[in-house]
Amino acid sequence: MATDSTHRCDRIWTNARLATMTAAGTIENGMVAAKDGRIVHAGPVDARYDAAEIIDCEGRWITPGFIDCHTHLIHAGNRAHEFELRLAGASYADIARAGGGIVSTMTATRAASEEELVASALDRLDALVAEGLTTIEVKSGYGLSTEAELKMLRAARRLGAERDVRVTTTFLGAHALPPEFTDNADGYVDLICNEMIPAVATEGLADAVDAFCEGIGFTPGQVSRVFEAARVHGLPVKLHAEQLSNLHGAALAAGFDALSADHLEFLDDVGIEAMAKAGSVAVLLPGAFYFTRETKLPPIDALRAAGVPIALATDCNPGTSPLTSLLLVMNMAATLFRLTVDECLAGVTREAARALGLLGETGTLEAGKSCDLAIWDVERPAELVYRMGANPLHARVWKGL
């Protein structure tokens, strides 16, 4: 019965257990109430909340909707043949000579239409959504020309119109050197700074700018130039840093107040200190670590000690992480990196939101945020991390629906 003290909502999920991912921790006998797409209450069952639609969760667990904060979801083709060659003993150089590697994905991506890029990415997106994903970051970086990079970003934006997900896009022109610029990396960086970033910014196609700082990618000096151009256009930055070697990319990124530095196997104490100071998130990518059979572990204990927030993501890409499961990412992070269950869950919710600059909008169960939920058929949250190849998702809610 509606009284003065009744809060009228649109929908209520009750008789649930909540992993709030806030200081409130987990709540037994909890409820989430939503109005106009936003959470108005996430806490103990409270009779003052009423709604037209009340969903009995029968004791199931509710977590925030999952967030994949680092993907290369838009690309054409795959590199299964390259994988076979590698299994047969071919080296990276052999594969590059045979036309493999990032450049083969670039060729396929340039040849694909925007529609084809959307269609192939939707297959991968649907796999992630089926496991409770509600927000995803998608990078460019396989076009490597102004036209093809813009095409990738437009395709990425369209994913958010095709599915009930929040899509953030990242311009990654500095991913690899296109063949037109062989032996002229600085010339390509000129193109990125003087043409690509202004075009991307003018069309509003990117929410952030990323680069691959590596011996086989771009030098710190080149990355600085890209970041300066991003700053001029008001775009936040993030960086593929310290994946294969230590070029001190994380510290460089932190100097530009980066949202995140990602990979980080070869990160050192100076980089950790700089990230802690800047508030940059460490995005760990255990799928790439696993698939490339890396043996150098990211410095987890030092990141913890310095209070650097840790997020997890798929790095979904055809070369080093053909992975479309955040549940498996959590299992790998626990098994390979020894992250705790709490750290794994935070890594694909709260900290992933932080890495995208979206913590005010999603990533925890808190009044005021978008009502993005994943409802799970599990007895305890640890099951989400422990099981491999199972999908206990019962229902997914995005913006209260």
| Footprint of Fe ion on 269-328 (CB under 5 A) | 315
393 contacts which partner out of Fe ion, ligand DI6, none, CB within 5 to 8 A by kind? none
For 208, the 3-state DSSP assignment is: strand
Are residues 65 and 397 in contact, defined by beta-carbon separation less than 8 angstroms?
yes
Rounded to a whole number of angstroms, the minimum distance from the CB of residue 75 to Fe ion is 11
**CA separation for the pair 198, 204 (Å, rounded):** 10
Whole-angstrom distance, CA of residue 381 vs CA of residue 353: 19
CA distance 162 to 170: 19
Helices 146-162, 114-129: axis angle to 10 degrees equals: 40
Stretch that binds ligand DI6, among 124-132, 151-159, 265-273, 316-324 (CB under 6 A): 316-324
* Least separation in angstroms between CB 210 and Fe ion: 8
Whether the Cβ atoms of residue 65 and residue 372 lie closer than 8 Å to each other: yes
CB nearer to ligand DI6: give 102 or 208: 102
- Compute the least distance from the CB of residue 262 to Fe ion, in Å: 7
Residue 165 near residue 134 (C-beta atoms within 8 A): yes
Is-contact 310 275, C-beta < 8 A?
no
Q: Does 173 bind ligand DI6 (CB under 6 A)?
A: no
Q: Does 175 bind ligand DI6 (CB under 6 A)?
A: yes
State the minimum distance, in angstroms, from the CB of residue 33 to ligand DI6. Answer: 42
**Shortest distance in whole angstroms from residue 291 CB to Fe ion:** 12
Q: Which of residues 190-219 bind ligand DI6 (CB under 6 A)?
A: 212
Q: How far is the CB of 29 from Fe ion (least distance, A)?
A: 41
8-state DSSP, 203: T
Classify strands 238-241 and 281-284 as parallel, antiparallel or unpaired. Answer: unpaired
- Please identify, using beta-carbon distances, which residue of 64 and 217 lies nearer to Fe ion: 217
Nearer to ligand DI6, 105 or 260 (CB): 105
Residues 72-131 contacting ligand DI6, CB under 6 A: 102, 105
Beta-sheet strands, E only, within 287-377? 310-312, 373-376
Residue 175 interacting entry, from Fe ion, ligand DI6, none, C-beta within 5 to 8 Å by type: ligand DI6
Per CB under 6 A, does 319 bind ligand DI6?
yes
Number of residues in contact with ligand DI6, rule: CB under 6 A? 11
Task: Give the 3-state secondary structure of residue 240.
Answer: strand
For residues 45 and 50, what is the distance between their CA atoms, to the nearest angstrom? Answer: 11
- Inter-residue contact 61 to 371 (CB < 8 Å): no
Name which position in 317, 331, 349, 364 contacts ligand DI6 (CB under 6 A).
317
Note the residues at the interface with ligand DI6 (CB under 6 A).
Answer: 102, 105, 175, 212, 240, 243, 288, 317-320
